[in-house]
Amino acid sequence: MTLSVEEKIDLSRYRMEKAKKMLHDASTLFHDGSYESSVNRSYYAILSASKALLILRGIDPETHEGVKTMLSKEFIKTGLLPKEFGETFRSLQSRRADSDYGDYIEMTREEADDSFKRAGDFIRQVENIVEKLIKEISSPSQ
């Protein structure tokens, strides 16, 4: 399916709003002491933000690994996102998998707090890039 520029922009903005809602949920869960669930929401917040960026380039991976790979290729290796954000994605993805699927694994308050803070930094920076890309693709070329 090929999306128009307007559809890409709408989908990107929807995914950014979803990312911010998930980050809010991560905060609520953290403050309620649900650290595993907070880590889960922090990860999914950055996944949604990553997909918001990628769709503006016409890229819509179907897997988490595909999102991670294409984020690295399109935004980290090109310098549009700091290299540490690749590590943020990997770290939060690993914590989420451990938390969701690992037996006898409990996330600590510190791990949940770190995940939430890193997700917040990630989303703030990605949101700025999304808005910049939207301006670039929506303005007529000269």
Residue 142 scores a pLDDT above 50: no
pTM of the model as a whole: 0.94
Indicate the angle between helix axes 64-71 and 84-101, nearest 10 degrees.
170
Distance CA 31, CA 58 (A): 37
Q: CB–CB of 124/50 below 8 Å? A: no
Residues in the chain: 142
Contacts of 130 (CB under 8 A, 6+ apart): 12, 13, 16, 52, 53, 56
Domains identified in the chain and CATH numbers? 5-137 (1.20.120.330)
**Residue-wise pLDDT tens digits, 102-124:** 999 999 999 999 999 999 999 99
